[in-house]
Amino acid sequence: MIYLDNAGTTKMFDECVEVGRKFSCENFFNPSALSVEALEISRLLNETEKFFLNKLGALQGNVIFTGCATESNNLAVRGSLRTGDWEYVFSAGEHPSVYNQAKKFELEGFKVHVVPLNEDGQIDLQKLQSVLNEKTRLISVIHVSNETGAVNDLHKICQIKKKICPKAIIHVDGVQSFMKIPFSLAGLDVDLYSFSGHKLHAPKGVAGLYVKNKSALKELFYGGGQQYGLRSGTENVAGIMQFKKAVELIDVRLNFDKVKLMKEKMICQLSKVNGVKIFDFAGSPYILNVVFDGVKGETMLHALNEKGVIVGLGSACSSKKAGNRVLENIGFDKDVIISSVRISFNAYQTLEEIEKACEIIEEVYKNIKERVS
């Protein structure tokens, strides 16, 4: 099997398995309890929080550990909601866990602005600037698009915010950027930053939210007051420690360069195939959009699956719905969207695997075209 849907999820590192066993079967204690063993787990969690702050390049703030990126995004966005004459700004390229909250805000009567994307897949900065004002409460923007790999310029967004609405909160969905592309929160006026474990070879069921100032958020769950009162509930200690182990094993720069070579190789090979169109948004090397003229993307997905190559159709949270909101906003027409697949890499694959995948993709596409022509 050649797995090319890594933006959906990744295979967990073998090293994380033993960590999970250790903190589930040996050091299994509840960090909120008062035994010596429990207090040691609490200390480990505090150290792990500092570890993630360091990896983010954050000079201040806290990390709230959550159950998934959807929860992190909901805590950031819904937790920033306030009554009053406030306005909320989102990009049209947001993941469903953010975008659907924007739609919900509208239904609840709040003033919401959804800023369109440019042809390069990035948020339109001029349009963003035009909707910001002193009433802006929250700006939520994805760092790396889970659909296209386009990278939004956080520095410019922060500069615009500082100029027009310095008191506004900036939330960034960093699920496809954390430990994938070189960056640091140092020097960025980012208040909230979401990230997830299972996109980084850690287990499903653990994620995080960076919070620069805890007073900017309100809790969504009520309980024992764990994690500064912002996320009550016993922490998933095993998952958090597995997440830490996975991050320890990742060399961001080395992996970035390796994946860039994979993407370049695939572009080079598939661009030679008649009827195949490559859409590379010059952003993250981890994500590539490929369009197969005359063949539905879903048809390609299933045919490739039978041949041992797994690709995706976009966000796993919305892949069963017709169309693709993000590609539509960029300007793709319906036929192109229907014929597109999302290919996403991980740094632990080989160039030989990518070459083999390209051969299978070309063979499958030509066979389908012959049958339907």
Cβ atoms of residues 128 and 115 within 8 Å: yes
- Average pLDDT score over residue span 124-152: 97
- For the stretch 30-47, pLDDT in tens is 999 999 999 999 999 999
**Domain co-membership, 195 together with 318:** no
pLDDT at 274: 96
CATH number at residue 133: 3.40.640.10
pLDDT(222) > 60: yes
**Domain co-membership, 285 together with 205:** no
Q: Longest Cα pair distance anywhere in the chain, in angstroms?
A: 72
- For the stretch 233-250, pLDDT in tens is 999 999 999 999 999 999
**Domain co-membership, 103 together with 177:** yes
pLDDT at 223: 95
- For the stretch 346-361, pLDDT in tens is 999 999 999 999 999 9
- Average pLDDT score over residue span 162-174: 98
pLDDT(372) > 90: no
**Domain co-membership, 230 together with 283:** no
pLDDT at 315: 57
CATH number at residue 366: 3.90.1150.10
Task: Give the up-direction half-sphere exposure of residue 333: CA atoms within 13 A in the CB hemisphere.
Answer: 2
- Average pLDDT score over residue span 266-292: 95
Classified as helix, coil or strand, 87 is strand
pLDDT(55) > 80: yes
| CA-based torsion, 12, 235, 172, 326: positive or negative | positive
pLDDT at 331: 86
pLDDT at 264: 97
Domain boundary among 249, 271, 293: 249
User: In this structure, which amino acid lies at residue 114?
Assistant: V
pLDDT(184) > 70: yes
Gap between the Cα atoms of 92 and 325, Å rounded: 8
Cβ atoms of residues 152 and 146 within 8 Å: no
**Domain co-membership, 258 together with 190:** no
pLDDT at 317: 53
Domain boundary among 249, 266, 284: 249
Name beta bridge partners: 171: 140, 192
**Domain co-membership, 313 together with 215:** no
**Domain co-membership, 128 together with 258:** no
- Average pLDDT score over residue span 140-161: 97
pLDDT(17) > 90: yes
pLDDT confidence bin for 257, thresholds 50/70/90: very high
Going by the DSSP 8-state scheme, the letter that residue 264 receives in this structure is: H
- For the stretch 106-133, pLDDT in tens is 999 999 999 999 999 999 999 999 999 9
**Domain co-membership, 264 together with 115:** no
User: Three-state SS across the chain?
Assistant: CEECECCCCCCCCHHHHHHHHHHHHHCCCCCCCCCHHHHHHHHHHHHHHHHHHHHHCCCCCEEEEECCHHHHHHHHHHCCCCCCCCEEEEECCCCHHHHHHHHHHHHCCCEEEEECECCCCCECHHHHHHHCCCCEEEEEEECECCCCCCECCHHHHHHHHHHHCCCCEEEEECCCCCCCCCCCCCCCCCCEEEEECCCCCCCCCCEEEEECCHHHCCCCCCCCCCHHHCCCCCCCHHHHHHHHHHHHHCCHHHHHHHHHHHHHHHHHHHCCCCCEEEECCCCCCCEEEEEECCCCHHHHHHHHHHCCEECECCCCCCCCCCCCHHHHHHCCCHHHHHCEEEEECCCCCCHHHHHHHHHHHHHHHHHHHHHHC
Domain boundary among 249, 278, 295: 249
**Domain co-membership, 62 together with 179:** yes
Domain that holds residue 18: 14-249
pLDDT at 321: 53
**Domain co-membership, 220 together with 83:** yes
- For the stretch 286-343, pLDDT in tens is 999 999 999 999 999 999 999 999 999 965 554 455 568 999 999 899 999 999 999 9
pLDDT at 314: 65
**Domain co-membership, 262 together with 225:** no
Number of domains in the chain: 2
Task: Region of 308 please: left (phi>0), alpha (psi -120 to 50) or beta.
Answer: left
In 239-339, beta strands by DSSP E: 276-279, 287-292, 309-310
- Average pLDDT score over residue span 13-41: 97
**Domain co-membership, 99 together with 217:** yes
**Residue 231: how many other CB atoms lie within 10 Å:** 24
